């Protein structure tokens, strides 16, 4: 049995919903299509299609197998195009992950632009505030904030952010402005994250890292909620610089303790493909790199972003 022909036939039947229609599309006879599907089901040991006199539909096993079959056929097509010179034309599904707020603010507009530029591409975006394994989740690209731990992945640095302590002008007028990290102990703290461990906020003075324990009055697992509560005068918060850029620009909040600002965190585009990068991944990585590097909110004073990969 030709495995690739079997996969192609399986996908054709799944998409057409009928053996005859799939046979016509593939240029095969209906009995040949029936035989190929039967051989594939025998090899896999599962029923891929539920057949009635009126309808052919995917079984539960067939539905799970369909995405993998499409992926294998697409990778074969890309490999063939790479050899024959068609590698420059991007097509297929790109799967990408990024932090939630970063994805909404920065990645979503770039993906919309990408869809206009490359009509044969489609995108599936997974926005999560946790690190996911690219291979296990079947992802092509990840946007990560912080030093990447996966040494096997290609990392393209595109900028940096840092934690910023902030409050609203109204809150500071009523409660005073902290001058040192230790002054935070007398203020109402609104903490982003969880309450499992007492938070310590990092600072830096003359190259030496410092930490200050804070006792939050409110803990919220949503950064935007923290920003909104602080802007409303509820207390002092701390999130990453890009997350508060709009509120800072509007004057709703002001930064605090900038003379002891925390160390910066790099932003990277990560992907797992090596020297033979697929066309869809290459154009996606290039567009993300160019747009993110040109965004002023992702550049910090004194930071020089790397221009290579």
Left (φ > 0), alpha (ψ -120 to 50) or beta: where does 17 sit?
A: left
Measured between alpha carbons, how far is 294 from 99 in angstroms, rounded to an integer? 19
Give the number of domains in the chain: 3
Residues 140, 63 within the same domain: no
Residues 242, 174 within the same domain: yes
Domain end call among 51, 84, 117: 84
Closest of 223, 240, 102, 101 to residue 162, by C-alpha: 240
Residues 121, 190 within the same domain: no
Beta strands 141-145 and 92-98, pairing class: parallel
Residues 173, 249 within the same domain: yes
Q: Which residue's entry shows tokens 């990453």?
A: 240
Q: 303 pLDDT exceeds 50?
A: no
Could you tell me if residue 43 is inside a domain?
yes
DSSP 150: -
The CATH number given to whatever domain includes residue 253 is 3.40.190.10
What is the greatest pairwise CA distance in the chain? 83
Q: 308 pLDDT exceeds 50?
A: no
Residues 59, 100 within the same domain: no
Could you tell me if residue 9 is inside a domain?
yes
Residues 233, 183 within the same domain: yes
Q: Report the chain's mean pLDDT, rounded to a whole number.
A: 86
Could you tell me if residue 113 is inside a domain?
yes
Range of the domain at 237: 163-260
Give me the phi and psi of 133, to 5 degrees please: -80, 125
What is the per-residue pLDDT across 181-221, written as a single tens digit (0 to 9) for each? 999 999 999 998 865 556 789 999 888 888 888 989 999 98
| Mean pLDDT to the nearest integer, 160-179 | 96
pLDDT value, residue 82: 57
Could you tell me if residue 228 is inside a domain?
yes
8 A C-beta contact, residue 148 and residue 155: yes
Could you tell me if residue 305 is inside a domain?
no
pLDDT value, residue 194: 67
Could you tell me if residue 304 is inside a domain?
no
Residues 193, 126 within the same domain: no
Could you tell me if residue 53 is inside a domain?
yes
* pTM confidence score: 0.65
């Amino acid at each position: 049995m030709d495995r690739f022909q079997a996969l192609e036939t399986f996908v054709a039947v799944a998409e057409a919903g009928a053996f005859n229609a799939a046979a016509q599309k593939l240029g095969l006879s209906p009995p040949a299509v029936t035989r190929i599907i039967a051989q594939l089901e025998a090899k896999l040991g599962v029923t891929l299609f539920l057949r009635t006199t009126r309808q052919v539909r995917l079984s539960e096993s067939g539905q799970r197998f369909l995405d993998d079959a499409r992926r294998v056929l697409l990778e074969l097509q890309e490999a063939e195009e790479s050899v024959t010179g068609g590698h420059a034309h991007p097509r297929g599904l790109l799967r990408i992950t990024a932090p939630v707020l970063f994805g909404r603010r920065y990645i979503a507009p770039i993906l919309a632009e990408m869809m206009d530029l490359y009509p044969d591409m489609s995108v599936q975006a997974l926005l999560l505030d946790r690190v996911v394994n690219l291979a296990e989740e079947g992802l092509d690209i990840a946007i990560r904030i912080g030093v990447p731990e996966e040494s096997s992945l290609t990392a393209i640095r595109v900028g940096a952010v840092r934690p910023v302590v902030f409050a609203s002008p109204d809150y500071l007028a009523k409660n005073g402005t902290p001058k040192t990290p230790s002054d935070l102990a007398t203020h109402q703290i609104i903490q982003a994250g969880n309450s499992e461990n007492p938070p310590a906020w990092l600072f830096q003075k003359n190259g030496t890292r410092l930490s200050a324990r804070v006792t939050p009055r409110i803990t919220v697992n949503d950064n935007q909620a923290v920003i909104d509560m602080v802007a409303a005068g509820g207390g002092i918060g701390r999130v990453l610089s890009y997350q508060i850029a709009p509120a800072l620009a509007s004057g709703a909040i002001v930064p605090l303790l900038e003379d002891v600002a925390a160390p910066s965190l790099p932003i990277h585009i990560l992907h797992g493909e090596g020297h033979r990068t697929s066309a869809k991944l290459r154009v996606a990585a290039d567009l993300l790199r160019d747009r993110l590097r040109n965004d002023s909110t992702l550049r910090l004073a004194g930071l020089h972003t790397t221009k290579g990969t």
